[in-house]
Amino acid sequence: MLSVAGLRKRYGEVVALDGFELEVAPGEIVGLVGHNGAGKTTFARAVAALLRVDAGTVRVAGRPITPRRRRPGELGLAPQELALFPTTALENLRYAGRLYGLGRHTLAERIAETAEALGLTELLPRPVEDLSGGQQRRLHAAAAMLHRPRVLLLDEPTVGADPVTRELLLHAVRDLADRGTAVVYTTHYLPELEVLDATLAVADHGRVIARGSRAELLAALPGRVTLSFADGAGLVFPPDLSGHAGGLHGDDVVITAIDPAAAAARLLAANPEHAARLRSIALDAPSLDDLYRELLTRNGA
């Protein structure tokens, strides 16, 4: 549905996009992750035809998008910075809907539906300046999703959002994808991508350096398990868990391994008398930080 090839953009000496490529299928949610300055926002602005790129193409459903050939109805963009008019929530949604070419009847229907999905119904008559930050964030996303675009770009939509706002937003995004929208969701939080069941694209220095399912990209990364014992004295480490993979810190054991649960089981099996003194066990899956570190090492950065 979204097909981006060879995007390049320079700002003077700064190369913001350096051959950025991304394909997103209908109904797919791609979690676009990467360090600050990796080019994620520039990419979103280029796809929305809000800036002129130096090279490359953006296609939605096979048709090229350029600043001259924008198709607002096909695209929804919620940038990082809130962009709302100083009027009521309802007027903001009406304005967005008209901009996207929705007719009166459909507009009223979609506003009711989207407001309901994002918990905004009661807030529609209120002036935007009276809404809390989280409520404004939901309204901002609603304005981008109202017309059920073919491609939806959300740039860190949950920054500063409370858990309720976060959940509403994630569900609304998943629902839209289930109707066939291709979504690019920029975030720094891996757990959100799990809720969305998103695939991953990792950006670095203006290009995508890794693309695939979460399982594919995270499978090779080690996770961590921490076992806390009432008394850890005398624990013995099986040979494969000794060295840097495992160690005793006070009465806690921290093991880093590809399969941390299996490693914990091996440690307990080797120490049956300590198993009765186990107070807690905590598994930490690999984080996005672990993924960046691994990819940057692999790419020689």
Question: What are the residues binding ligand ATP (CB under 6 A)?
Answer: 11, 14, 16, 34, 36-42
Q: Rounded to an integer, what distance in angstroms lies between the CA atom of residue 38 and that of residue 17? A: 8
Q: In DSSP terms, which residues pair with 181 in a beta bridge?
A: none
Q: How far is the CB of 161 from ligand ATP (least distance, A)?
A: 16
**Rounded to the nearest whole angstrom, what is the least distance from the CB of residue 187 to ligand ATP in the complex?**
10
Task: Please state the closest distance from residue 26 (CB atom) to ligand ATP, in A.
Answer: 25
Q: Which is nearer to ligand ATP, 150 or 205 (CB)?
A: 205
Q: Looking at beta carbons only, is 40 or 140 nearer to ligand ATP?
A: 40
Q: Taking the CB of residue 217, how many other CB atoms lie within 10 A of it?
A: 21
Question: Smallest distance, Å, CB 53 to ligand ATP?
Answer: 12
Tell me which H or E stretch contains 268.
helix 260-270
In whole angstroms, give the CA distance from residue 97 to residue 183.
Answer: 19
Please provide residue 233's backbone torsions phi and psi, each rounded to the nearest 5 degrees. Answer: -60, 135
Rounded to whole angstroms, the Cα distance separating 135 from 46 reads: 27
Nearer to ligand ATP among residue 16 and residue 152 (C-beta): 16
The answer to whether the CB of 180 falls within 8 A of the CB of 26 is yes
Nearest distance in Å: CB 11, ligand ATP: 3
CB 232 to ligand ATP: min, Å: 41
In terms of Cβ atoms closer than 10 Å to its own Cβ (0-12, 13-18, 19+), residue 60 is buried
Nearer to ligand ATP, 37 or 73 (CB): 37
Instruction: CB nearer to ligand ATP: give 41 or 199.
Output: 41
Q: Which is nearer to ligand ATP, 11 or 85 (CB)?
A: 11
User: In the complex with ligand ATP, which residue's Cβ is closer, 35 or 71?
Assistant: 35
Closer of 2 and 225 to ligand ATP (Cβ): 2
Neighbouring CB atoms inside 10 A of 26's CB total 14
**Helix H segments across 58-100?**
89-99
Cα–Cα distance, 153 to 296 (Å, whole number) = 26
CA 276 from chain center: how many Å? 41
Strands 29-33 and 182-186, sheet pairing: parallel
Q: Are 200 and 210 in contact (CB under 8 A)?
A: yes
Q: How far is the CB of 36 from ligand ATP (least distance, A)?
A: 3
Query: To the nearest whole angstrom, how small is the minimum distance from the Cβ of residue 156 to ligand ATP?
Result: 7
Start-to-end Cα distance in the chain: 32
